[in-house]
Amino acid sequence: MDLLPIGVTGPADRRLVAGLREIGPILEELDPAVLVIGGLMSRLWLHAVPIDMPVRPTADIDLGIDRQRLQLAADRQVVGPLLERLDFKGGYAGEPFRYAKAVEGIGEILLDIVIPPGASRDEPPLIERGLESVAAPGLAYAVLRAPVTASVSFVDGEQSFDFQLPIPALDAALVLKAALVESGVRSRPDRVRSDSVDAIVLAAACLKRPDALRALRDHRRRSDVRKSVRWLTDAFRSPTAVGSRRVETHFEKDGYAPGAGRWAAEVAGAFRAALEAD
């Protein structure tokens, strides 16, 4: 992926940059068994493949861990000692998979660490002995697909901060967001709304990338891909469908002109047609 220059526009972006600087050793030591997912993943893809819609900022960082590639079996511990060494404390807001670290001049930065469904037989699932996590729907597909390295430069006045971030392929990013909403794991309305928005804008980006559409066709028999595509085409089947209404509400709050719901329904229709094409 070509270098992505992104302007730093406020405190949230500065907290994100601080967080990325703090997790640098995690990305380096866990490579190639770690992926940057979540809202940042969506943001980077929408900078790489613009769709003429506002890009949602995020200050949080989510990491997906491939336990199999890390060979986390028996009593081997890798992730926990690394987080401890970097002063990340688990259990933020009562969630064992959420980590926080106080950074001077910035405040707390947040880090969520998740694994693919089925990666751990325990409940709640474990990254490794003594380190609880949650299973992220769609992450198994993202692990299956080859990751993409996003070269990012956050520009803050005369300063710039450069990062090499491993993110899922575009089609896998879409599956991650759609599978998350389809699963019902999220319950907070604002989170469900933002995930729905991310899913449809990533679908719009996929329409510009034949390789992403081809990958979805090639893997259409996978349950996570199938469920994600079915949810997206149903949730945005019309301008008044539930997903379309979420998109309309989201962009209205940002002061965007009415019509985002209709746009979302048109994207879903084009997306469905593109996947059904030979």
3-state secondary structure the chain: CCCEEEECCCHHHHHHHHHHHHCHHHHHHHCCCEEEEHHHHHHHHHHHCCCCCCCCCCCCEEEEECHHHHCCCCCCCCHHHHHHHCCCEECHHHCCCEEEEEECCCEEEEEEEEECCCCCCCCCCEEECCEECCECCCHHHHHHCCCEEEEEEEEECCEEEEEEEEECCHHHHHHHHHHHHHHCCCCCHHHHHHHHHHHHHHHHHHCCCHHHHHHHHHCCCCHHHHHHHHHHHHHCCCCCCHHHHHHHHHHHHCCCCCCHHHHHHHHHHHHHHHHHCC
> Residue 17's domain spans which residues?
4-168
Same domain for 178 and 115, yes or no, is: no
pLDDT tens, position by position, 156-172: 999 999 999 999 999 99
pLDDT tens, position by position, 8-51: 989 999 999 999 999 999 999 999 999 999 999 999 999 999 99
The pLDDT > 70 percentage for the chain reads 97
Domain limit, last residue, from 123, 149, 168: 168
Same domain for 192 and 114, yes or no, is: no
pLDDT band at 257 (very low <50, low <70, confident <90, very high): low
Q: What average pLDDT does range 211-229 have in this prediction?
A: 97
Only one residue has tokens 């190639």, namely 32
Domain limit, last residue, from 168, 196, 223: 168
Same domain for 10 and 90, yes or no, is: yes
Same domain for 116 and 178, yes or no, is: no
Same domain for 116 and 241, yes or no, is: no
Same domain for 48 and 181, yes or no, is: no
Same domain for 153 and 20, yes or no, is: yes
Same domain for 164 and 270, yes or no, is: no
The pLDDT of residue 256 is above 80:
no
The pLDDT > 90 percentage for the chain reads 81
Q: What is the pTM of this model?
A: 0.95
Give the count of domains, the chain: 2
